[in-house]
Amino acid sequence: MNLPIGIFDSGVGGLTVAKEIVSQMPNESTVYFGDTARVPYGSKSRDTIIKYSGQIVKFLQTKNVKAIVIACNTASAFALDILKTEIDIPIMGVIHAGAITAAKTTKVGRIGVVGTSGTISSGIYEKTIHQINNELEVIQKACPLLVPLVEEGLINDRVTDEIISRYVSELKSRHIDSLVLGCTHYPLLYKTFGRIMGEEVSLVNPAYETAKELKSLLERENLCAADDGKVFHDFYVSDMAERFSDLASSIMPGIVKKAGIVNIEEF
């Protein structure tokens, strides 16, 4: 089925998910929407996120998408269940695949989760992991400065190292052995987290796991695209198209073209 996959996030972070989808499923086309006028989602309320996500899903449906990936942890936490009941194409978030992988990976039974304030206060990773195995201990930590630091380009920088070290100090002292990078920006800090957490801690990248889960879903539902070379990747944002394209090109080199502007409040 040669229709595109819809992917959305509050901004550029979801491109780490889009990148994994393009890399694992090279025949699939994608339509990406980044809500750059209303970024960040991590500090907004449940009701607001549900409203924003609903508008974006309506927009993506005008692009004839065959499935939708909510490439944003906060929106996955708050809006996935409601959206599932409202549309008749498959829709998935980024929480489930990461939670399953973390639950499978831990040997000591203690999992750490880092994310935005919204994701952490929703408790969604803890709930999802406990649905898989009620005996696992989940230790969460909100890291509100990491998105601004990444967006300022301080990916390899001693300030970012220090801020991450402070955020994870409790997780380290409680000897977790599996850490979920529960925000789509954080895979860009994968190496730093790895160095600070040390070899005994496995990092779980929900972007990678979500793309794997999507691939299984498309195969199961017989929705995979044909290998006919007709692949496209379109990008839309609600504001600041040029800045988006610049940042996006550094995350997905050679894939991102000029982004279109959408007046998302009209949907």
Binding-site members are 9-10, 41-42, 73-74, 184-185
Q: Which residues are catalytic?
A: 72, 183
Question: Is 240 a binder of a copy of itself (CB under 8 A)?
Answer: yes
In terms of CB distance, is 162 or 221 closer to a copy of itself?
162
Identify whether the C-beta of residue 144 lies closer than 8 Å to the C-beta of residue 121: no
Rounded least distance, CB 246 to a copy of itself, Å: 13
Which residues lie below 8 Å from residue 74, measured CB to CB, with a gap of 6+? 10, 41, 42, 44, 49, 115, 116, 118, 119, 122
Which residues lie below 8 Å from residue 51, measured CB to CB, with a gap of 6+? none
Identify whether the C-beta of residue 69 lies closer than 8 Å to the C-beta of residue 22: no
Specify the stretch interacting with a copy of itself by CB under 8 A; choose among 82-90, 105-113, 142-150, 193-201. 142-150
Question: Is 211 a binder of a copy of itself (CB under 8 A)?
Answer: no
Pairing verdict, β 202-204 and 178-181: parallel
Q: What's the chain's Rg over C-alpha atoms?
A: 18
Question: Is 90 a binder of a copy of itself (CB under 8 A)?
Answer: no
Binding-site residues for substrate, in ranges, read 9-10, 41-42, 73-74, 184-185
Specify the stretch interacting with a copy of itself by CB under 8 A; choose among 15-23, 103-111, 159-167, 168-176. 159-167
CA distance 249 to 254: 7
Give me the residues that bind a copy of itself (CB under 8 A), please. 36-39, 43-45, 48, 144-145, 148-149, 151-152, 159, 162-163, 239-240, 243, 265
